[in-house]
Structure 1
Amino acid sequence: MPTAIELHARKTRGHDARVAHAVALLREAAADHAGRIVQATSLGVEGMVITDLIARHGLAIPVATLDTGALHAETLALIPRIRQRYGVEVQVFRPQQEAVVQFVRRHGEDAMYRSVELRKSCCDVRKKEPMRRLLEGRTAWITGLRREQSESRSRVPHFELDADSREKFYPLADWSEADIWHYVATHDVPYNPLHDQFFPSIGCAPCTRAVSLGEDHRAGRWWWEQEGAKECGLHLRPEPIAA
């Protein structure tokens, strides 16, 4: 089976300029929000590229992630790999254990499959509540959303204000799949081995599957739902303030 690098990595026109722009944006964000900014990573390949850029250029931006209690072992294994590779301690935020226990007791382990409302309630408990703590006291955050990932993300700007008026930066907004994997190959960036098994977008284990040739990048997320519901609520976007 070919790896994701073998399938996707190639240098395209403008790649170096896109890398330089991403670094410049990260530098500006770190300077403008010194001590109050964070990279919120899901540990997918885009997040790993951003962590590499931050570490490679010595930027004062801490890295944080959510451990929902339902992630693949391959995803969690990246946390010590980041520490070993970059000397960066990843801040890990977990859901309130009692809230998870109560949710499962009321609705069962398979609640997410029974309705969109229950799936979103599960995301509220496992993702949105710990994300609020991750962002507490921050005035800015960085994520790896890209325009190419899905129709709902096709107009992602390089920065905007989120619903709580924090600045939110998307340094890879205009990067292609080829850009991402060329960067990974060039700099030997660690990544989740599930990407080599046709998992382009990786979330909680019960809610993620591999995709088939020609499917949308996020088709493997909540695949049993209608297309319009394919977000967990962490990245619901207001109208952008910059394009």
Structure 2
Amino acid sequence: MTTSAVEFSALPDLGGSSAIGLYARHTPGHEERVAQTVAWLHEAAEAHPGRIVLANSLGAEDMVLTDLIARHQLPIAIGTLETGALHAETLALVPQIEARYGLKVELYRPQAEAVVHFVRKHGEKAMYESIELRKACCQVRKLEPLGRMLADRSAWVTGLRREQSANRSTMTDRETEPNGRVKFNPLLEWTWADIWHYIAQHQVPHNVLHDQFMPSIGCAPCTRAIAVGEEFRAGRWWWEDEKAKECGLHVRQTQHDDTSVAA
């Protein structure tokens, strides 16, 4: 595929943003990592014409991927899980993406009756009561809609990075799922500094909650700011044991157990 990159109208100067100020810095090999990611995205789009989607969580990594897809005019759809429990700041990115890049964002919402039934039976704070109930909430709000997003797709793209957690350190840049669908992880080798350097360099819109010390953002009840020295994902499901911090979006079966690796 030989598509040329496109330029977008400049956004207001983001240099004063705390996330950019804290994290953005150029590191050796950055340009090569960007080029490799673009090559992977081209390859993925060519191998799965019309049947590939970026599962955009509206976090920093997925906004970088959205920018690359738009900049290089790649035929990769953009899909988002609108769980019904996201921060307003997170949802505000959807119209920004559509206005800046001219891309339609596919929104996948949980089935209303399933949410009503879950809340009526377990309460609105069920996620704090047990790991089982929290995962059940994720099943209703995230996994079922994800299934619809991927139903007619043969491939999807994620913003997973090795640096995000120990669970993700052994992931590969592409994985073939049991049903034959391929998952591409083209940012796997990027660092947090890489992500924010790219955002600063290209003035990519980002979730303002990142400026409030939330590097990993999920549903509002399950996300908090982190303190200096805490792990990258410490603000997600912070009341649980570290090994339980999964929702099932990115499931990998190891040869030893059934541990899920999730966003």
Identity over aligned pairs, percent: 64
SS of equivalent to 1:212: coil
Compute the RMSD of aligned alpha carbons.
1.2
Q: Match for 1:193: what amino acid?
A: V
SS of equivalent to 1:58: coil
Q: What are the Cα deviations for residues 19-46 of structure 1, in whole angstroms up to 9, with x where unaligned?
A: 0000000000000000110001110000
1:69–1:126 CA contact under 8 A, matched in 2: yes
SS of equivalent to 2:229: coil
1:38–1:62 CA contact under 8 A, matched in 2: yes
Q: What are the Cα deviations for residues 106-165 of structure 1, in whole angstroms up to 9, with x where unaligned?
A: 000000000000000000000000100000011000000000001111112111112432
Q: Match for 1:40: what amino acid?
A: A
**Paired residue for 1:141?**
156
Cα distance in 2, alignment partners of residues 2 and 75 from structure 1: 16
SS of equivalent to 1:189: coil
**Paired residue for 1:169?**
184
Q: 2:33 aligns with which of 18, 35, 41?
A: 18
SS of equivalent to 1:168: strand
TM-score (norm 1): 0.97
Q: Match for 1:139: what amino acid?
A: S
1:239–1:36 distance in 2 versus 1, CA, 3 Å: farther
**Paired residue for 2:240?**
225
Cα distance in 2, alignment partners of residues 234 and 2 from structure 1: 30
**Paired residue for 2:210?**
195
Cα distance in 2, alignment partners of residues 149 and 138 from structure 1: 26
TM-score (norm 2): 0.89
Correspondence 1:53-132 to 2 at 5 A: 53-132=68-147
1:184 aligns with 2:199: yes
SS of equivalent to 1:63: strand
1:163–1:237 CA contact under 8 A, matched in 2: no
Q: 1:215 aligns with which of 230, 254, 260?
A: 230
SS of equivalent to 2:120: helix
SS of equivalent to 1:200: coil
**Paired residue for 2:52?**
37
Q: Match for 2:67: what amino acid?
A: D
What is the CA-CA distance between 1:239 and the residue it aligns to?
A: 5.2
1:2–1:76 distance in 2 versus 1, CA, 3 Å: closer
SS of equivalent to 1:164: coil
SS of equivalent to 1:156: coil
Q: Match for 2:59: what amino acid?
A: G
| Greater relative CO, 1 or 2 (CA 8 Å, sep 6+) | 1
SS of equivalent to 1:64: strand
Q: Match for 2:157: what amino acid?
A: I
1:163–1:238 CA contact under 8 A, matched in 2: no
Cα distance in 2, alignment partners of residues 79 and 163 from structure 1: 31
SS of equivalent to 2:172: coil
SS of equivalent to 2:156: strand
Q: 2:249 aligns with which of 221, 230, 234?
A: 234
Cα distance in 1, alignment partners of residues 28 and 254 from structure 2: 30
